[in-house]
């Protein structure tokens, strides 16, 4: 159930004089269920169900301290009209502009009149302090003068609202004065506002406030509150994410080790078929390399590095082979000659590109050619 407490704020005169009783009214689901002119709002509001999310407090600022005026700008967009209304009202106001708190509502459509309320920062400070003293936090502070509906043409409304008598013309709303009201009316009829119509206008103002004094410098700071249940879920998700992050590399390492173990077993089984008995793949590979070297074959054989050397020389026709020898450890030794050092370097780079380890000792030939003594490791 949506519950709203409507509390009339004391006037500045009442606050300074020590009398701060406030009129109040309680609305449940759009129906006025209780009201009073004393501190009975405490019992009407402070109930266990007050903690429901739909419950709210709306304060009404007295017309004596917050008069209202409607300004029209037919050719301006709603946001532009509100901005212009604030500037015009500030220009027409008396006193120090820094002491004034001017709030303009924003019309729903272009061409509609803009409600503008004028009060002081001192009044706002007094009201917020009084509300804090009562332990109340209002959802909005609406000028009481803004809740009266516009009168009929060539007439004015007068209504007792809270503890004030308010006068409403077509473009102004302010506290009534018996001596000034006839002068302001200027021959127009001053009629009392029907109670039912006043009640409807009040409920409409609660559902769609024409303006809120809690704006600008007095706009409440938003307090971010995190749902405890959401915090628990966030912590659980964080822990799950951490566990998954750690498990991915662990599972990957386990899979790699399992693949390596299967490959080692296959290597040992293959070596066993070749007559090599070994405890692991490394021992089997070492034994196979030893037997191949003794037999002059395998990766340590002469043909392996020699074919790579011939392929590299084929791409560089200017390079000639002067000497060539091979050792049982797979090292190929050769002497290369070429008209230019760059040609020999091209051969060496080609061998390195195939993964061979190269050493080279440059020297000059007797006929002016460039030469280099080169060793090529047969095993990459």
Domain 296-377: CATH superfamily is: General secretion pathway protein M, EpsM (3.30.1360.100)
Domain boundaries, given as residue ranges, for the chain: 3-218, 228-293, 296-377
d(CA 200, CA 338): 108
Mean pLDDT lowest among 104-118, 124-138, 139-153, 268-282: 268-282
d(CA 333, CA 322): 11
Most distant CA pair in the chain, distance: 131
Would the pLDDT of 223 be above 70? no
Rounded to two decimals, the pTM is: 0.57
Size of the chain in residues:
380
Q: What's the half-sphere exposure (Cβ side, CA atoms, 13 Å) at 233?
A: 5
Q: What is the pLDDT of residues 143-198, one digit of tens each?
A: 999 988 888 888 898 888 878 899 999 889 989 988 888 888 888 888 898 888 88
> Count of CB atoms within 10 A of residue 199's CB?
12
CB 196 within 8 A of CB 159: no
Average pLDDT value for the chain:
83
d(CA 264, CA 253): 16
d(CA 85, CA 106): 10
3-state helix, strand, coil in the chain (%, to 5): 40, 25, 35
CB 371 within 8 A of CB 365: yes
d(CA 264, CA 277): 13
CATH of domain 3-218: 3.30.420.380
């Amino acid at each position: 159930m949506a519950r709203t407490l409507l509390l009339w704020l004391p006037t500045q005169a009442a606050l300074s004089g020590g009398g701060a009783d406030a009129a109040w009214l309680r609305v449940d689901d759009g129906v006025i269920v209780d009201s009073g002119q004393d501190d009975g709002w405490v019992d009407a509001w402070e109930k266990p169900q007050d903690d429901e999310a739909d419950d709210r407090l709306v304060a009404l600022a007295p017309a004596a301290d917050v008069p209202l005026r409607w300004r029209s700008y037919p050719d301006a967009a709603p946001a532009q009209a509100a901005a212009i209304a604030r500037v015009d009202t500030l220009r027409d106001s008396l006193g120090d502009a820094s002491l004034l708190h001017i709030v303009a509502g924003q019309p729903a459509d272009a061409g509609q009149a803009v409600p503008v309320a004028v009060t002081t920062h001192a009044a706002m400070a007094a009201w917020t302090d009084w509300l804090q003293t009562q332990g109340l936090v209002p959802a909005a502070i609406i000028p009481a003068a803004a809740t009266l509906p516009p009168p009929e043409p060539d007439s004015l409304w007068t209504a007792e609202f809270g503890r004030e008598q308010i006068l409403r013309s077509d473009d102004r709303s302010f506290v009534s004065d018996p001596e000034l009201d006839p002068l302001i009316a200027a021959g127009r009829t001053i009629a009392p506002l029907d109670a039912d119509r006043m009640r409807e206008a009040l409920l409409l103002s609660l559902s769609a406030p024409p303006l809120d004094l809690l704006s600008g410098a007095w706009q409440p700071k938003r307090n971010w509150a995190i749902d405890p249940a959401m915090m628990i879920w966030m912590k659980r998700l964080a822990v799950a994410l951490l566990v998954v992050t750690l498990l991915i590399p662990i599972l990957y390492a386990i899979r790699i080790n399992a693949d390596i173990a299967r490959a080692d077993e296959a290597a040992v089984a293959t070596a066993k078929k070749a007559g090599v008995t070994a405890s692991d793949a490394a021992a089997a590979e070492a034994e196979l390399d030893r037997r191949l070297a003794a037999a002059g074959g395998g990766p340590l054989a002469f043909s392996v590095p020699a074919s790579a050397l011939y392929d590299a020389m084929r791409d560089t026709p200017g390079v000639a082979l002067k000497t060539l020898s091979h050792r049982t450890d797979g090292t190929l030794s050769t002497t290369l000659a070429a008209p230019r050092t760059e040609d020999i370097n091209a051969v060496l780079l080609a061998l390195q590109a195939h993964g061979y380890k190269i050493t080279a000792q440059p020297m000059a030939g007797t006929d002016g050619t460039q030469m280099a003594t080169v060793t090529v490791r047969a095993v990459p």
